[in-house]
Structure 1
Amino acid sequence: MSAAPKKLALALGVLVLATNCATNSNTSTQTQQPQKVTEVSNAETVKTVNVDGSSTVYPITQAIAKEFQTNSQNKSNQAQVKVNFSGTSGGFEKFCTGQTDISNASRPILKAEMDKCNKNNVRFIELPVAFDALTIAVHPQNNWAQDITIAELKKIWEPAAQNKITRWNQVRATWPDRPLKLYGAGDKSGTFDYFTEAVVGKPGDSRTDYTASEDDEVLVDGISKDPNALGYFGFAYFEENQNKLKALAVNNGQGAVSPSRQTVEKNTYQPFSRPLFIYVNAQSAQNKPAVKHFVDFYIENAPKIVSSIGYVPLTEEGYHLAKVHFNRGKVGTVFEGEAQINLTLGELLRKQAKF
């Protein structure tokens, strides 16, 4: 490493350590401990930002990474961003063993994952970046279903439905006697965790006789080719493929509401409105200038990129707080190791403000 990056890395380390010591740790559920600023000898490693995790957040991070790579300031630094996806849970498995710098997540980090991070001395900075409207999709030729209730979704997806609820008319008597083919998130996906908790009542509680994948494109492809299909995934994948999919309005007991930016902002698309995150390895942010530059760029450009992808951006204050927390090296989470259903944009902002 050249002298300049070494000095920058050390300066960043001192800055983050100093601000961590001055921060009240009572609001964080992760123990704040001093970081060891380690020497990184491989110049290529220092200039590479490794990202993995949620396929729902992947389109946002990938789009920002592409823009970052072409950014004139970054060209002088020659930083490279590698973005992959293995699902939120799969991403945290890598992140909490120090294999990645950033983990995309479609749910907050869980207690067991926090314990694993602590065990491996991985401190993280939690940054909300957008809101999603988890979407229930069917084939466009489906002319019988326009909406679906949470109770009906539970009837379809609960473990007791396995090999039993296999036809549309078993879900609603007015629907036709046709095969019901299911497509959904794999069990390494944060979408799987969120959906099962919101619908069945317990994270991970689901029938298993369905086409499962952590790759939302696989789910989109399957549903778009199957007139008897029903599945779920992030709203951006529906937006990109709405010419070959149909979204069902969701009725939680207060009337059927379709997924859209407007219904998320109005807090009416519940329980499927949810925040999306990136988690940053605090030590990487100290030791690797490329990580610091990329996350700064991410927060700055998230509003326009999030909108262009099809998700709902946070408020201006929300991104400001994310920037403040990142630059202060604020480690931990405001979610106490649990996913939270029915969270609104306003509630997320209040949690961030108290962090």
Structure 2
Amino acid sequence: MFKQSKLVSALAVAGVALFGAQAAHAQIVKIDGSSTVYPITEAVAEDFQKAKKNAIKVTVGISGTGGGFKKFCRDETDLQNASRPITAKEMADCKAAGVDYIEMPVAYDALTVVINPKNTFLKQATVEELKKLWEPAAQGVVMKWNQVNPAWPDAPVKLFGAGADSGTFEYFTEAIVGKAKSSRGDYTASEDDNVLVQGVSRDVNGIGYFGYAYYAENMARLKGLPIVNPKTGKAVEPSGANVENGTYVPLSRPIFVYVKAKSMQKPEVREFVEFYMKNADKLIREVKYVPLPKAAYEGNIKHAKDGKIGTVFGGKNEVGITVEEIMKREAKM
């Protein structure tokens, strides 16, 4: 009898422990993906956890857009930060794993080319000059500034850029070189933009690229390079205002959060997504990105409630797409 009651007690304790573990697991929102979108989602996560008095834990990782989608399509995360739309291959991977998703554009970014503040000769750059510097044919060949532009000095170029799993890498190469993932490989690459910030800030001949928020946080250590608008011929500085007025091209781009449809059935994920969209405008401005119109965030919440899954991009990245065009497409979703 004693042994039996002991067993029952043990099972009861185990059951409580298991229930506790399940409850604890249920109160975690798992997010990964883009380092560009990270500052927004991390800011939302901090405020959300404070509002919930830490009853719900939100984890935000940085493995790059591509790395994040691998986890997302393996059903390992609830939300995916993405600095480009989902690709055709990722769509197929998610479909094969039975992972449905809701696409939510959250902001616009001025993808920024940065140089060291001690660089006194580089005042602006054209798309053609950046292509000469970054295209695959430049690998092991274009090693000095004057090989790009004879007016620039006979000094070594030190390149820093996004890693191959980064959506920023894909967008930059498509916008500048003309083909996604088409890049020289002899540069310091990282999915962590803070590594790139350190590299350029420490080398007078350094040049790199990443999302505007990382430049905005490090203006004392970096110089944002004005890019010549191909249509007007005028050099335009990276800024939120120039993204909004449409003059900062071709490096303005939308950035996204993808939410797993199945995860929206969990109260903590649903609450987090609604909190995200209701507070997006304020927090996006705080981290120096450009918020979308209020209707975009309301549309995101509606799509989530209505279970509208999929993407309006058809598995392709698009350089130069405007806020207005995204809004039109999302409205028809």
TM-score where L is the length of structure 2: 0.92
Counterpart CA distance in 1 for 2:190 and 2:325 is: 31
1:314-325 equivalences under 5 Å are 314-325=292-303
Deviation per residue, 1:60-104 (Å, 9 max, x gap): 100100000000xx23x8111011110000000000010000000
Deviation at 1:125, TM superposition (A): 0.5
Structure 1 unpaired stretches of 5+? 1-39
Secondary structure (helix, strand or coil) at the match of 1:231 reads strand
Q: What is the distance in 1 between the residues matched to 2:123 and 2:130?
A: 14
Question: Which residue does the alignment assign to 1:170?
Answer: 147
CA RMSD in angstroms, aligned pairs only: 1.2
CA distance in 1 between partners of 2:163 and 2:115 (Å): 18
How far is 1:193 from its partner? Answer: 0.5
User: What number of residue pairs does the alignment pair up?
Assistant: 312
In the alignment, which residue of structure 1 is the partner of 2:240?
261
Q: State how far apart, in whole Å, the 2-side matches of 1:327 and 1:221 are.
A: 42
Counterpart for residue 96 of structure 1: 73
Residues 294-317 of structure 1: CA distance to partner in whole angstroms, max 9, x if unpaired? 001000111000000010000111
1:334 corresponding residue in structure 2: 312
Alignment match of 1:132 (pick from 109, 123, 139):
109
Q: Which of 170, 184, 188 is the aligned partner of 1:207? A: 184
Give the structure 2 partner of residue 31 of structure 1: none
Q: Per-residue displacement from partner, 1:19-65 (whole Å, max 9, x unpaired)?
A: xxxxxxxxxxxxxxxxxxxxx98112211000000000001100100
Rg larger in structure: 2
% identity of equivalent residues: 52
Matched residue of 2:291: which SS?
Answer: coil
1:68 match: 48
Q: Aligned equivalents of 1:103 and 1:317: distance in 2?
A: 22
Tell which deviates more after alignment, 176-185 or 247-256.
247-256
> What CA distance in whole angstroms lies between the structure 1 residues aligned with 2:247 and 2:307?
34
Post-superposition offset of 1:146: 1.0
Question: Any idea what SS the aligned residue of 1:126 has?
Answer: strand
Q: Deviations over 1:152-192 (max 9, x none)?
A: 11101110000111111111111111110000000000000
Q: 1:277 aligns with which of 235, 242, 256?
A: 256
Amino acid paired to 1:86 = S
1:78 and 1:342 mapped to 2: Cα distance?
41
SS across alignment from 1:42? helix
Q: Which residue of 2 aligns with 1:48?
A: 28
TM-score w.r.t. structure 1 length? 0.86
Which residue does 1:304 correspond to in 2? 282
Contact 2:37–2:256 (8 Å) recurs in 1:
yes
**Runs of 4+ in structure 1 over 6 Å off:** none
> Per-residue displacement from partner, 1:232-264 (whole Å, max 9, x unpaired)?
000000000001100111113222111111110
Q: Which has the higher contact order (CA 8 A, sep 6+)?
A: 1
Aligned to 1:111: 88
Q: Which residue of 2 aligns with 1:234?
A: 211
**Which position in structure 1 is the counterpart of 2:222?**
245
- Consecutive unaligned residues of structure 2, counting only runs of 5 or more, are 1-19
Corresponding position of 1:11: none
